[in-house]
Chain A
Amino acid sequence: MNLDIELASLILSAFLFAVGTAGVLVRRNAIIVFMCVELMLNAVNLSLIVFSRSLGLEAQVLVFFVMAVAAAEAAVGLAIIIAIFRHYEGVDVDRFNLLRW
């Protein structure tokens, strides 16, 4: 069996991304929604690494930055979740609509 790893990786990336998306849509727990977002980021990272093999190593640099930003984002995002939890006494995303004023 001759498996094209690059192609398979792209399919895997697409699958992970789709699962992440579905997770965001289906879960109400803010932390799990957040985790799904992390999964989507990783799916994209996988694509980028596949592309780096043919298009140049700059793609891997981008993955590196994505990880760094993801770390920052996780820190701030979790802090926000804590703040929200304190205020609403819960992390159910349906219970707050802060995006509306």
Chain B
Amino acid sequence: MMEAFFFLLFATMAAGGAIMMIASRNPVSSLMYLVLAFFALSGVFVMLDAHFLAAVQVIVYAGAIMVLFLFVIMLLNLGHREDIDMRGHLARLVALVAGSGLFAAVAALVFRGEQATLAGEESRLAVEAMIRSRGAVGALAEPLFTSYLVPFELTALLLLVAIVGAVVLARRRAP
């Protein structure tokens, strides 16, 4: 009961934040709604036993990346722009149709696939046992540093490249 309540709470917060993000005029408000949604999502992550990822979500996403966005909005001085960047009625209608269509389609697929559970009970138990024995971090670290070591290292390289790239792109060119 408790679980259900919290889930619904987080879910409502996430969904509401998302809707408000695309609906609010001010980019800064949009961003704040998005941060709210991300926080709520990390709650959902916890309820799904992904504690480590929930933490990363808060620290990296809601924290670092969103702050980066905020910086940029401030930098470009977009914060108090009142000129609406919302498209016209036709576009809104299209977006509504597309969005609800997409949602309906995926939801239908989810409900249809529910009967045929994705995997047997055995693997579910194995995953839970893994989390119990190694803890949330350990369970994730095991494959990350063994089977996926090379992609992991490549990620490091990617981040380096991204930093260099960002600097190069955003640098003010000498006149």
Contacts and interface: CB of A to CB of B under 8 A. Distances in A.
Interface of A: 1-3, 5-23, 25-29, 31-32, 34-36, 38-39, 42, 45-46, 49-58, 60-61, 63-65, 67-76, 78-83, 85-86, 91-92
Contacts of A36: 21-22
User: Which 6 pairs of residues, A with B, have the shortest CB-CB distance?
Assistant: A22-B99, A72-B162, A23-B22, A14-B106, A18-B103, A79-B169
A68 B56 CA distance: 10
A76 B124 contact: no
A76 B94 contact: no
Contact of A21 (B45, B86, B102, B170): B102
Contacts of A57: 127, 130-131, 139-140, 142-143
Contact of B3 (A5, A18, A25): A5
Contact of B72 (A5, A60, A78, A92): A78
Interface string B53-80: 1001100110011001100110110100
A84 B68 CA distance: 17
20 contacts: A11-B110, A12-B11, A12-B14, A13-B106, A17-B106, A19-B15, A22-B95, A22-B98, A29-B85, A32-B22, A49-B48, A53-B127, A54-B118, A54-B127, A60-B52, A61-B148, A71-B159, A79-B169, A82-B76, A85-B76
A87 to B, nearest CB: 10
Interface of B is mostly: helix
A83 B119 CA distance: 47
A70 to B, nearest CB: 7
Interface of B: 1, 3-4, 7-8, 11, 14-15, 18-19, 21-22, 27, 30-31, 34, 37-38, 41, 44-45, 47-50, 52-53, 56-57, 60-61, 64-65, 68-69, 72-73, 75-76, 78, 85-87, 91-92, 94-96, 98-100, 102-103, 106-107, 110-111, 114, 117-119, 123-124, 126-128, 130-131, 139-140, 142-144, 147-148, 151, 155, 158-159, 161-163, 165-170, 172
Contacts of B124: 53-54
Contact of A28 (B21, B86, B148): B86
Contacts of B128: 53
A73 B151 CA distance: 16
Given A16-B15, A17-B102, A69 B158 contact: yes
